[in-house]
């Protein structure tokens, strides 16, 4: 007898888990430095266009495939096209999920280091130079980043072993509302800084002369990375949705809240960047060097610092859980592996590659591939190649090959609607064309 598939228990659980999958380090750590390197306001405008024209339709496509088939990314394509080769899209998603989990866990491990330093009084709240040197010394260490990466992945493992409702859903329901409240508190504090207006101007006044193909590629990669689309996380989560879940509403709310968190994170960071005389294009270290400066302006700096990094750690967990679920669902559904074994295998693979990513800032910093460290190559390949490629194939399949009656039935309960028509139009024409053109620009054809 086929075992009944797990389902999320509540509507709040659906929103909290899908938003939790999207909201994490991609919004609070990655978006500010990508926006900083991309010129601020111009990057934000392009990012919003990508979310609207590509992101939401691809989320809808993944939701439709996942809930209709009740299978993982590999099984969903094989279910709808048993005689074709579309199920190989699943391998793209599984590879992307493992690669992202590997380097993402390194950054999540950094949050654990900062929790530890905040609690023990080890953070230097006295100078901006102190923040910079402290972060550099930590990343350059050959054992501390590795230790925290391994510990983070073990935390991820403990939650995944508890299953869908007791692990993933329960934690998301508690932590996501608290994260939003604290982000707003930190935003208010940043807006009181001396040069806050300069930071807001950088973020919200676009200078389109700074737009290059690289900025467009970065915005698309950030959108796919942040929304967790193109690798099957949304498809896998949708396979746990009940028939009563409104896919249109869930997709829209997920995209809106995910984007809101990214903008709030930028509002926290950029006023502080300008107030402390730092560059907005500092790269991956931006959050870990600037946030302590923000906390130093608050009474009880160590308490605020501890609380923020705990919540950043938990937000990152909701994302890594969803990434892990892609390969775990594949192993349990397709390879008939027990969840326990599948969870351990997923963790061990991520640990293996995660160690190399962690050492990219230390003893392996001089080892490069095409001029990029192991950490950077994992980030670049997943964000700018695998996720957009997965999104391209998913949009083409749902837009052109999936029976439109299935799409309409899942997205609008069988009824025609303007939203459904717009999503299908985007999946057929806008999303694949935009992704393909950006790819051509990336390889120098355009």
d(Cα 389, Cα 204) in Å, to the nearest integer?
A: 30
The pLDDT score that the predictor gives to residue 2 is: 45
- 118-122, 281-285, 431-435: the lowest-pLDDT one: 281-285
Residues in the chain: 446
* Residue 68, pLDDT above cutoff 70: yes
pLDDT tops 70 at residue 418: yes
Residue with tokens 């192993």: 331
Given a contact cutoff of 8 angstroms between Cβ atoms, the answer to whether 54 and 223 are in contact is: yes
The superfamily (CATH) of domain 11-442 is Amino acid/polyamine transporter I (1.20.1740.10)
Least confident of 22-26, 61-65, 208-212, 283-287: 283-287
Report helix, strand or coil for 131.
Answer: helix
Taking residues 339-354, what's their average pLDDT?
Answer: 95
For the ranges 47-56, 104-113, 268-277, 385-394, the lowest mean pLDDT is seen at 268-277
**What is the average pLDDT across 125-136?**
69
- Position 414 confidence tier, pLDDT thresholds 50, 70, 90: low
Q: Report DSSP state, residue 168.
A: I
Average pLDDT, stretch 161-181? 70
Q: Give the percent of the chain with pLDDT over 70.
A: 86
Rounded CA-CA distance 419/270 in Å is 35
The structural domains of the chain, with segments of one domain joined by +, span 11-442
Q: What's the confidence (pLDDT) of residue 1?
A: 37
Structural contact between residues 61 and 427, judged by C-beta atoms closer than 8 angstroms: yes
Distance CA 336, CA 345 (A): 13
For the entire predicted model, the pTM comes to: 0.87
pLDDT (mean) for 61-78: 94
Q: Mean pLDDT in the chain?
A: 85
Is residue 228 within 8 A of residue 55, CB to CB? The reply is no
With a cut of 80, say whether residue 79 has pLDDT above it: yes
Q: What share of the chain is helix, strand, coil (3-state, %, to 5)?
A: 80, 0, 20
């Amino acid at each position: 007898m086929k075992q009944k598939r797990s389902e999320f228990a509540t509507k709040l659980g659906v929103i909290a888990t899908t938003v939790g999958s999207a909201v994490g380090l991609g919004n609070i750590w990655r978006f500010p430095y990508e926006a900083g390197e991309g010129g601020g306001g111009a990057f934000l405008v392009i990012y919003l266009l990508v979310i609207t024209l590509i992101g939401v339709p691809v989320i809808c496509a993944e939701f439709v495939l996942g809930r209709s088939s009740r299978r993982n990314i590999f099984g969903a394509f094989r279910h709808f096209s048993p005689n074709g080769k579309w199920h190989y899209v699943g391998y793209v998603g599984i590879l992307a999920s493992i690669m992202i989990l590997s380097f993402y866990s390194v950054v999540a491990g950094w949050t654990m280091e900062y929790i530890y330093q905040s609690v023990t009084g080890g953070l230097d709240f006295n100078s901006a130079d102190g923040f910079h040197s402290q972060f550099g010394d930590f990343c350059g260490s050959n054992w501390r980043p590795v230790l925290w990466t391994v510990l983070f992945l073990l935390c991820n493992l403990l939650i995944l072993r508890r299953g869908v409702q007791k692990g993933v859903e329960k934690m998301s329901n508690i932590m996501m509302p608290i994260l939003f409240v604290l982000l707003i508190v930190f935003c208010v504090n940043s807006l009181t800084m001396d040069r806050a207006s300069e930071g807001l101007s950088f973020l919200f006044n676009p200078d389109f002369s700074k737009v290059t193909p690289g900025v467009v590629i970065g915005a698309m990669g950030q959108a796919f990375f942040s929304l967790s689309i193109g690798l099957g996380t949304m498809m896998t989560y949708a396979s746990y949705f009940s028939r009563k879940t409104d896919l249109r509403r869930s997709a829209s709310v997920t995209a809106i809240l995910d984007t809101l968190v990214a903008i709030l994170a930028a509002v926290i960071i950029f006023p502080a960047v300008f107030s402390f005389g730092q560059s907005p294009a500092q790269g991956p270290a931006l959050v870990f060097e600037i946030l302590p400066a923000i906390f130093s302006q608050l009474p009880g700096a160590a308490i605020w610092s501890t609380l923020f990094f705990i919540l950043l750690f938990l937000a990152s967990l909701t994302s890594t859980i969803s990434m892990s679920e892609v390969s775990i669902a594949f192993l349990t559904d397709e390879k008939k592996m027990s969840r326990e074994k599948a969870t351990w295998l997923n963790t061990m693979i991520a640990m293996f590659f995660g160690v190399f990513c962690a050492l990219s800032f230390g003893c392996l910093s001089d080892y490069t591939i095409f001029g990029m460290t192991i950490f950077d190559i994992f980030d670049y390949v997943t964000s700018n190649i695998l996720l957009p490629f997965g999104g391209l194939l998913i949009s083409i399949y749902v837009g052109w090959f999936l029976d439109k009656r299935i799409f309409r039935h899942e997205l609008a309960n069988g009824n025609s609607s303007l939203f459904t028509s717009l999503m299908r139009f985007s999946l057929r024409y806008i999303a694949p064309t935009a992704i393909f053109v950006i790819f051509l620009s990336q390889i120098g054809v355009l």
